[in-house]
Structure formats: structure tokens, C-alpha cells
């Protein structure tokens, strides 16, 4: 798979100190190239990426005179799971998190989430709080990743639904009352002890999920 990567990506892979994150990066980037290459009718190794000011990758250019509208994508990896989200013409963000039993999630929520979210999390039955925390975290990450903002965006400046038994949604964005209705949010089932969510900048859209075998 490493043969599909650019020189710059191979150099980045070589800078990882540990094997697992290196492997994760190589597999995700090579698979991203395979899928985007298939969509655009271009060999995977011929695609070029550019990066936003906060590091969000996007395709440098599509084929001249392509009839294919702009393809947006986002990648997330955690543990052994890599997710790739693709949309046609709408900003998209995705996040997957493997549950970490050592995480003091109520403290993290109080520190980083909006105060109402932290209160709502504490009011869930204790056995649902860890699911609620990761539901909230992945939705928040998916939103800031769709915007391309990364950690520059305050996690307390917007709210998402917390209850893991309810549909995921963007609830409130400070100073932008119309923002929540412009987004489609979906939590994704990616297996036990993991949470994942995708957000698309479109009022309504169909989200399909499929597995991609990795050689």
C-alpha cells in the first residue's frame, strides 16, 4: 500500500515512532487514494492533496472538465478502525473514538463541553454516561472536522444531543441560530467500545455505510 503514497506521505509515515499509528496512517491514506481515484477515474498515486490552514486535507484539483461535482471527504482513525466519509458538494466531517476506560469523562465534559451538555451528561443513568460522553465527543469532533477548524474551535461554543438512545443531532451554535437545521448528523455503529459520528452540511441527506476490505 505504501507504493500508492506520495513521497511526502511516505516521509510522514517514516516519522511515526510506533508501528501501529504508522500502519493506520498508511492504510487510511492508501485506501483514501484508491477510493477517490476510482471516483475520479485517476490512478490513486496520481492524486494530489492540499491542506487547509488547520490541516484538513482536500483534493488539489479534479480532472479538467470533469463532470463529477466536487467530492468532499474526511478521515478518522482510532484503534483498529479507520473511517472515510465522502460527500458530493457538501462539507463533511467524521470521527471515531475507541473507548478509553482510563478517561475521567465527567471531568473532561465539564472542562471542554458546553455547560448544558455536561449537566445533561451527569443526569443520564450512570450506565449510559460513557456512551453519552462518546456520543457527544464524536459529534462535536465531526462538526469541527467538517468545518476544518480542528482544535481552534471551542468545543463549548456549540451543543449536540447527548442521549445515546436518541438520534444524534446538532442542537445549538452560539450566535448562529439557523446553523443546526443546515446539518445532517448520524451516529455510526462501528462495534463495541467504539463510537462514531458523521456530520454533513446539508439539511437532509441519505447516509450509506459500507465496509471496504483492506488487503
Ligand X SMILES: CC(C)(COP(=O)(O)OP(=O)(O)OC[C@H]1O[C@@H](n2cnc3c(N)ncnc32)[C@H](O)[C@@H]1OP(=O)(O)O)[C@@H](O)C(=O)NCCC(=O)NCCS
Residues near ligand X, by CB under 6 A? 25, 28-29, 54-57, 74-77, 95, 108, 112, 137, 141, 144-145, 148, 150-151, 155
Task: Please say which residue, 64 or 150, places its beta carbon nearer to ligand X.
Answer: 150
Cα–Cα separations (whole angstroms), residue 4 to 1, 71, 178, 197: 6, 20, 42, 28
Task: Please say which residue, 65 or 108, places its beta carbon nearer to ligand X.
Answer: 108
Task: Please say which residue, 142 or 177, places its beta carbon nearer to ligand X.
Answer: 142
The crossing angle, in degrees rounded to 10, of helices 115-123 and 105-112 is 150
- Considering the complex, what minimum distance in angstroms separates the CB of residue 154 from ligand X? 11
Q: Give, as one character, the DSSP assignment of residue 128.
A: G
Task: Please say which residue, 79 or 180, places its beta carbon nearer to ligand X.
Answer: 79
Nearest to 141 by CA among 77, 87, 204: 77
C-alpha cell at 83: 473511517
- Considering the complex, what minimum distance in angstroms separates the CB of residue 103 from ligand X? 8
- Considering the complex, what minimum distance in angstroms separates the CB of residue 59 from ligand X? 12
**Cα Rg of the chain, angstroms:** 18
- Considering the complex, what minimum distance in angstroms separates the CB of residue 13 from ligand X? 10
Amino acid at each position: 500500500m505504501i507504493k500508492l503514497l506520495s513521497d511526502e506521505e511516505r516521509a510522514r509515515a517514516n516519522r511515526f515512532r510506533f508501528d501501529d499509528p504508522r500502519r493506520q496512517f498508511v492504510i487510511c491514506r492508501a485506501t483514501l487514494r484508491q477510493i477517490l481515484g476510482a471516483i475520479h477515474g485517476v490512478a490513486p498515486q496520481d492524486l494530489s492533496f492540499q491542506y487547509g490552514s488547520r490541516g484538513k486535507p482536500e483534493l488539489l484539483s479534479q480532472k479538467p472538465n470533469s463532470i463529477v461535482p466536487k467530492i468532499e471527504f474526511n478521515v478518522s482513525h482510532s484503534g483498529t478502525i479507520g473511517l472515510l466519509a465522502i460527500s458530493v458538494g457538501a462539507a463533511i466531517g467524521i470521527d471515531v473514538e475507541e473507548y478509553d476506560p482510563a478517561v475521567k469523562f465527567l471531568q473532561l465534559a465539564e472542562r471542554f463541553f458546553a455547560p448544558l451538555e455536561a449537566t445533561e451528561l451527569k443526569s443520564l443513568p450512570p450506565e449510559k454516561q460513557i456512551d453519552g460522553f462518546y456520543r457527544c465527543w464524536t459529534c462535536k469532533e465531526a462538526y469541527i472536522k467538517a468545518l476544518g477548524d480542528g482544535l481552534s474551535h471551542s468545543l463549548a461554543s456549540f451543543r449536540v444531543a447527548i442521549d445515546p438512545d436518541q438520534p444524534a443531532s446538532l442542537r445549538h451554535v452560539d450566535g448562529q441560530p439557523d446553523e443546526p437545521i443546515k446539518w445532517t448528523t448520524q451516529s455510526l455503529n462501528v462495534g463495541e467500545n467504539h463510537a462514531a459520528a458523521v456530520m454533513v452540511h446539508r439539511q437532509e441527506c441519505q447516509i450509506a455505510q459500507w465496509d471496504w476490505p483492506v488487503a
